[in-house]
Amino acid sequence: MGEHGVIRRYRRFLPVSEDTPVISLNEGGTPLIEAPGIVSKLGGDFHLFVKYEGLNPTASFKDRGMTLAVSKAAERGARIVACASTGNTSASAAAYAARAGMRCLVLIPEGKIAYGKMAQALIHGAQTLEIRGNFDDALEIVRELGKREDVEVVNSINPYRIQGQKTASFEVCDALGEAPDMHFLPVGNAGNITAYWMGYKEYREGGNSSKLPRMMGWQAEGAAPIVLGAPVERPETVATAIRIGNPASWEHAVNAATESSGAIDMVSDEEILDAQRMLARTAGIFVEPASAAGIAGIVKSHSRGDIPNGSTVVVTVTGHGLKDPGVAVENSLAESTVVDADLDSVLAAIGLV
Ligand code: F0G
């Protein structure tokens, strides 16, 4: 892997030319980590690999698509990049716009994005507007803004975002030497499941893999429009990143599940939080709540007998746990203890007297 960043590494699969400036933070190349501890804990008989996308430059998978969207925006001479976001797209857009020397405008739902993500938008100098509404309202406004010539919308309705994000499938196949049997991931605005499916299909067509995984997408119960078959007016979930009631890539997501004999299903907030804690304690991997939806999906699928013995299963964990420290501290069900600064006090506190 001599080349850094998804545009340089996967140029032949991407809509770029010699004239495209490469705006990159060396995204991609994230580890695929085997997690046998979780499988034993579930009493399962399959091989589980975690694609840890929290290790991208802005700590989520969004960077894969953002490098391409911002590079293409720069190529056509756009001056402003804009997005609606539940927090991670805005963090990524802010960083890549800063790198490109472009203005960035982000619209986020008031009071509903995690603290770390707010910090990212602000420190990278994005103009940050909290709207009195939810993500779906923000996206509608951004679609209108995108009609202006000088504005480039970098939500996943921008086709370059999906193109960039599909490189994650390539990396999974490269790491395993073949596509997995099942691929689990959270679903919010539904761009990522669309991108993975596109990537798996292209890689097979190119002769780089010989099979296709079943795509298993997971929404949060309070924000599960695809599962319910109708938009959700007031989506609610602890997993704020996927608090979305009317996903932009709805049909593509349904297609991915149908074509691959997979499914789009839902998990409760409690299942999400249990999965976040289990992943942290059993595999040593810290993810934000939305990212744990795919893990919760594995727990649910396994309990229903939906994961055949001997399968190779990949789960994408989409964002780093440090993005949302508030929920993590609460969900740890643990607390720190203050003691005097001497050995006896420490030994007493841990019960080793
Ligand atoms: N996981 C995380 C951590 C996310 O931030 C998102 C989406 C998803 C999963 C769902 O991915 O939308 O492609 O289905 N976050 C967007 C944002 C909406 O604004 O950051 P999706």
Q: Atom of ligand 1 at shortest distance to CA of 217?
A: 14
191 is in an annotated binding site: yes
Q: Whose CA is nearest to atom 12 of ligand 1?
A: 189
- Structural tokens at position 334: 């643990």
Distance CA 236, CA 220 (A): 8
Ligand 1 center from residue 350 Cα (angstroms): 40
- Length in residues, the chain: 353
* Residue 5, phi then psi, degrees to nearest 5: 90, 150
* Region of residue 270 (phi > 0: left; psi between -120 and 50: alpha; otherwise: beta): alpha
318 is in an annotated binding site: yes
Ligand 1 center from residue 242 Cα (angstroms): 6
331 is in an annotated binding site: no
| Cβ pair 151, 145 in contact under 8 A | yes
Q: Atom of ligand 1 at shortest distance to CA of 155?
A: 19
- Using DSSP, how many helices (H) and how many strands (E) does the chain show? 15, 10
Q: Atom of ligand 1 at shortest distance to CA of 185?
A: 9
Q: Whose CA is nearest to atom 15 of ligand 1?
A: 241
Name the residue of 142, 246, 318, 327 to mutate for ligand 1: max ligand atoms within 8 A of Cβ: 318
Question: Burial level of 146, CB count in 10 A (0-12/13-18/19+)?
Answer: middle
Question: Burial level of 8, CB count in 10 A (0-12/13-18/19+)?
Answer: middle
Q: What is the pLDDT of residue 2?
A: 65
- Angle, to 10 degrees, between the axis of helix 191-205 and the axis of helix 250-259? 50
Helix then strand then coil, % of the chain, to nearest 5: 45, 15, 40
Q: DSSP string spanning 142-167? A: HHHHTTSTTEEE-STTSHHHHHHHTH
Ligand 1 center from residue 344 Cα (angstroms): 48
- Structural tokens at position 140: 């509608």
Q: What is the pLDDT of residue 242?
A: 98
Per-residue confidence in pLDDT tens, the chain, 353 aa? 468 999 999 999 999 999 999 999 999 999 999 999 999 999 999 999 999 999 999 999 999 999 999 999 999 999 999 999 999 999 999 999 999 999 999 999 999 999 999 999 999 999 999 999 999 999 999 999 999 999 999 999 999 999 999 999 999 999 999 999 999 999 999 999 999 999 999 999 999 999 999 999 999 999 999 999 999 999 999 999 999 999 999 999 999 999 999 999 999 999 999 999 999 999 999 999 999 999 999 999 999 999 999 999 999 999 999 999 999 999 999 999 999 999 999 999 999 87
- What is the enclosing helix (H) or strand (E) of 145? helix 135-145
The structure's pTM equals 0.97
Tell me which residue has tokens 């790491």.
175
Q: Whose CA is nearest to atom 6 of ligand 1?
A: 241
Distance CA 251, CA 272 (A): 25
Q: What is the pLDDT of residue 3?
A: 85
Q: Are strands 47-52 and 32-34 parallel, antiparallel or unpaired?
A: antiparallel
Q: How many CB atoms lie within 10 A of CB 347?
A: 12
Distance CA 345, CA 248 (A): 56
Query: CA dihedral in degrees (158, 164, 166, 172; nearest 10)?
Result: -160
CATH topology of domain 6-59+159-331: Rossmann fold (3.40.50)
**What is 61-153's CATH number?**
3.40.50.1100
Residue 53 CA, distance from chain mean position? 7
Could you give the residue range(s) of every CATH 3.40.50.1100 domain in the chain?
6-59+159-331, 61-153
309 is in an annotated binding site: no
Q: Atom of ligand 1 at shortest distance to CA of 89?
A: 20
Q: What is the pLDDT of residue 353?
A: 75
Tell me which residue has tokens 């299909």.
201
190 is in an annotated binding site: yes
Strands (E), 214-298: 214-220, 263-267
Q: What is the pLDDT of residue 7?
A: 98
Name the residue of 63, 88, 215, 316 to mutate for ligand 1: max ligand atoms within 8 A of Cβ: 88
Ligand 1 center from residue 90 Cα (angstroms): 11
Ligand 1 center from residue 59 Cα (angstroms): 12
Name the residue of 242, 252, 287, 320 to mutate for ligand 1: max ligand atoms within 8 A of Cβ: 242
Spatial CA neighbour of 267 closest among 292, 249, 240, 246: 292
| DSSP assigned state of 283 | I
Q: Atom of ligand 1 at shortest distance to CA of 87?
A: 20
Pocket of ligand 1 (CB under 6 A): 60, 62, 85-89, 156, 186-192, 241-242, 288, 290-291, 318-319
